[in-house]
Amino acid sequence: MQIYVCIKHVPDSAANIHILDDIRIDEKVAFLLNPYDEHAVTEAAAVKKKVQDSEIIAVCLGRPDAEKTIRSAMAMGADRGILVETDDVCDSMTTARALHAAIVQDGSADIIFTGKESIDSEGMQTQFRIGALFDFPVVTNAATFDIASGRAVVTCELSGGRTRTFELAMPCVVGAGRGLNTPGYPTFPDVVKARKKPIKTIALDSLAITPAAGSAKTVALTPLVQNRHPKKITGTPADQAKEIIRILRQEAKVLA
Amino acid sequence: MNKKYDAIIVGAGVIGTPIAYELCKMGYKTLNVDKLPDAGEGSTAGSCAIVRAHYSTEDGVALAYEGFKYWLDWENYLGNVTDEKGMAKYMNTGSILLKSEGHDWRKVQKHYDAVGVKYEEWDLDTIKKHVPPIDLHKFWPVRRPEDPTFFDEPTEMLEGAIFCPEGGYVNDPALSAHNIMRAAEAKGGEFMFNAEVVDIRSENGKVTGITLKDGTQIDAGIVVNVGGPHSFKINQMAEGVWEGCNIKTKSLRHEVMYCPSPEDYDYLNDGYHMSDGDIGCYVRPEVGNLFLIGSEDPDCDPQEWVDPDEFYAGKGGHGRDNVLTDEQWKAQCYRLGKRIPTLQVPNQPKGVVDLYDCSDDWIPVYDKSDLGGFYMAIGTSGNQYKNAPVVGRMMAELIDACEKGLDHDKEPFQYEFKYTKRTLDVGFFSRKREINYDSSFSVNG
């Protein structure tokens, strides 16, 4: 079974993000494997344990230094990597076309895992676009994944705490959510092994993908300043508890 | 009219608060001023709060061993004061010093014998029995993951360890400073927060007080610089003080990592503090069954000297601001990953970045100055947290003696340890000293 995992090289969410020229972020911050993609890689590794002769291939569209993120995915269980190299910031249409073309060129996917979203652009589209290009079924925000009688059985989290279970023909595309698993982080011996795993680098231009009819581009980037108005809750512990309940009911409206 | 105190202490961290406490007990009317909102919120809060006796000088060992006795007797030391935030707790894990080329452990052992520090010698089997997931190969020299030889297979083994049953860490360093503040207040000490000092005033070679950013002037014939990473800025505000120091201080950026313990190892409850010069790291348990991984400043790592105000404002960019870097995260976690091969290292760095108030030889300056009435307890270099209560007492006695006419530069003050009954020549910490080449020039002191 060939399991492809689409991963993204994203800025660390804990970094101090500075915007330059009102259009881009200062990229002199730590970049790492998109956290949702960690769940995707971990799930791929779990499938590989169950299904003999499986191979996990991490595919990433990004700058040359995204190789570091592919190494992270390989330390977590991917067997090899493909870096589709570009210095451009691509929209989800181009990204999906590039990842699709790279997978088609490489082999024959049985499952494609992605994260449910990337924490930088939060587009939540790429998995659906990849599915459409392959004509594969797609589900997202997966919380459980299983294979039964040659079909994928996936429970997804919906809004409001609901879940829905799907049965998908394979090959399929699955967007991993946080509930899917606990990421299996690498030990030092895993990191050592990952250094020897191969990464194939392909220039984006060489894939000669058909441009999408439409495109989306960032025209301005502004920081979102969230003003906080802390207030101190005083009084006896009983008064404080009462006030917290009042706030949760009347202001935050999270309690009935 | 300006408010007047006997002594103003600039800083309310874990060194500034005990100086106030001890001066108050001696009858001085003190005021601590701090630019932050509460005691211990500066670099004290970022301290790993490790309590261990191994230092590269005999005086360093003696001071740490004396300090240990204070932590054991915390409530009594503080006059059984109550703190509404609760009391800091000393966690006695015991302390392992691996015998390696990264530490001059023979010298440490000699100092232990001289001071009377209790210790055991452990062979590899004994270490393994106490720390089951450990790999005792020799990985020396310390390298960075960017260096391909970092990944070379080790072939030799370490030779053993020195284990001190007395050693560990304090669970909440900021709270410990807060506890001491409450104890000082109980003795009449006052504290002023959100107050930034912009000038140290003096007349005729004698300090007269401080001026705050809002223009407020407060007078005192004694001013003590305990400004932590801002110490060099405070010294520069006082006439002739900076120039009069042979040993200078500056602020050094430092990263400490939190990495989850392997699942089958209850490091929080079963683990030890361990100094591992072979990989350039020290570790202690942290809440959440985490390894707290500090760096012992190996030569291959960059030293980032920064402006403390820019640093705390999050300025300066990658590797110079208050955000962990991926490079150092990997360096420290992978180094420990060699020692603990089942340690799983997350992709996202987690930990603390703060500043050391670092002296030229990584040994502090506990001294008077060239300006009358101006004293300093600075240059703590990331290795003095454990000594704070003793330093508080020692500084108070030094100040009192100098105010009563002692010429400490000519006849250095001799401090009698309360518990271990040794005498310490406080001239050891003089600002006028030559660089002490016995030092490890690292956080090990």
Q: What is the mean pLDDT of residues B303-309?
A: 95
pLDDT digits (tens, 9 = 90+) for B149-176: 999 999 999 999 999 999 999 999 999 9
At A70 the pLDDT is 98
pLDDT digits (tens, 9 = 90+) for B277-300: 999 999 999 999 999 999 999 999
Q: Which of A19, A20, A188, A196 to mutate to test the interface with B (most CBs of B within 10 A)?
A: A188
Chain B CB contacts of A188 under 8 Å are: 334, 337-338, 341, 343, 345
Provide residues of B within 8 Å CB-CB of chain A.
151, 260, 314, 317-318, 321-326, 329, 334, 337-338, 341-349
ipTM of the complex: 0.91
Q: Are A14 and B344 within 8 A, CB to CB?
A: no
Banded model confidence at residue A28, pLDDT cuts 50, 70, 90: confident
Banded model confidence at residue B56, pLDDT cuts 50, 70, 90: confident
Kindly identify which residue of chain B lies nearest to residue A191, measuring between CA atoms. Answer: B334
At B44 the pLDDT is 97
Please state, as a whole number, how many other Cβ atoms lie within 10 Å of the Cβ of residue B408. Answer: 17
> Quick check: bond before B302 cis, omega within 30?
no
Banded model confidence at residue A57, pLDDT cuts 50, 70, 90: very high
Kindly identify which residue of chain A lies nearest to residue B338, measuring between CA atoms. Answer: A188
Pairing relationship of beta strands B197-203 and B206-212 according to DSSP bridges: antiparallel
CA distances to A28, B15, B24 from B8, rounded to whole Å, are: 42, 14, 12
Banded model confidence at residue A251, pLDDT cuts 50, 70, 90: confident
At A19 the pLDDT is 92
Angle between helices B58-72 and B105-115 (to 10 degrees): 60
> How many angstroms separate the CA atoms of B435 and B195, rounded?
34
Please tell me whether residue B89 adopts helix, strand or coil conformation.
coil
pLDDT digits (tens, 9 = 90+) for B22-32: 999 999 999 99
Q: Are B334 and A12 within 8 A, CB to CB?
A: no
Domain boundaries, chain A: 2-207, 230-256
Query: For chain B, what is the total number of helices (H) and then of strands (E)?
Result: 11, 21
Angle between helices A126-134 and A92-106 (to 10 degrees): 50
pLDDT digits (tens, 9 = 90+) for A64-120: 999 999 999 999 999 999 999 999 999 999 999 999 999 999 999 999 999 999 999
> How many angstroms separate the CA atoms of B393 and B381, rounded?
20
Angle between helices B388-403 and B173-186 (to 10 degrees): 40
Q: Is the pLDDT of residue B10 over 80?
A: yes
CA distances to A66, B153, B200, B343, B345 from A189, rounded to whole Å, are: 22, 11, 55, 10, 11
Q: What is the secondary structure of B117-138 as a DSSP string?
A: ---EEE-HHHHHHHSTT---B-
Banded model confidence at residue B418, pLDDT cuts 50, 70, 90: very high
DSSP B312: H
Sheet arrangement for strand B50-51: B50-51, B168-170, B90-92
Q: What is the mean pLDDT of residues B220-243?
A: 98
Q: Is the pLDDT of residue A256 over 80?
A: no
Domains of chain B: 3-86+172-248+360-429 (3.50.50.60), 95-165+251-356 (3.30.9.10)
Pairing relationship of beta strands B374-378 and B217-225 according to DSSP bridges: parallel
Q: What is the mean pLDDT of residues B237-248?
A: 97
Q: What is the 3 state secondary structure string of B173-221? A: HHHHHHHHHHHHHHCCCEEECCCCEEEEEEECCEEEEEEECCCCEEEEE
* Range A2-207 has CATH code 3.90.1150.10: no
Please state, as a whole number, how many other Cβ atoms lie within 10 Å of the Cβ of residue A58. Answer: 31
> How many angstroms separate the CA atoms of B181 and B388, rounded?
13
Q: What is the mean pLDDT of residues A16-39?
A: 92
pLDDT digits (tens, 9 = 90+) for B315-343: 888 889 999 999 999 999 999 999 999 99
Separation in Å, CA of B333 to nearest CA in chain A: 9
pLDDT digits (tens, 9 = 90+) for B78-105: 999 999 999 999 999 999 999 999 999 9
List the single residue in A15, A187, A192 with the smallest CB-CB distance to B344: A187
List the single residue in B342, B348, B349 with the smallest CB-CB distance to A187: B342
Q: Are A188 and B343 within 8 A, CB to CB?
A: yes
pLDDT digits (tens, 9 = 90+) for A143-176: 999 999 999 999 999 988 899 999 999 999 999 9
> How many angstroms separate the CA atoms of A47 and A3, rounded?
9
Q: Is the pLDDT of residue A223 over 90?
A: no
- The burial class, CB within 10 Å (0-12 / 13-18 / 19+), for A93 is buried
- What does the block give as tokens for A181? 């698993």
List the single residue in A26, A188, A195 with the smallest CB-CB distance to B338: A188
> How many angstroms separate the CA atoms of B47 and B386, rounded?
10
List the single residue in B323, B341, B342 with the smallest CB-CB distance to A15: B323
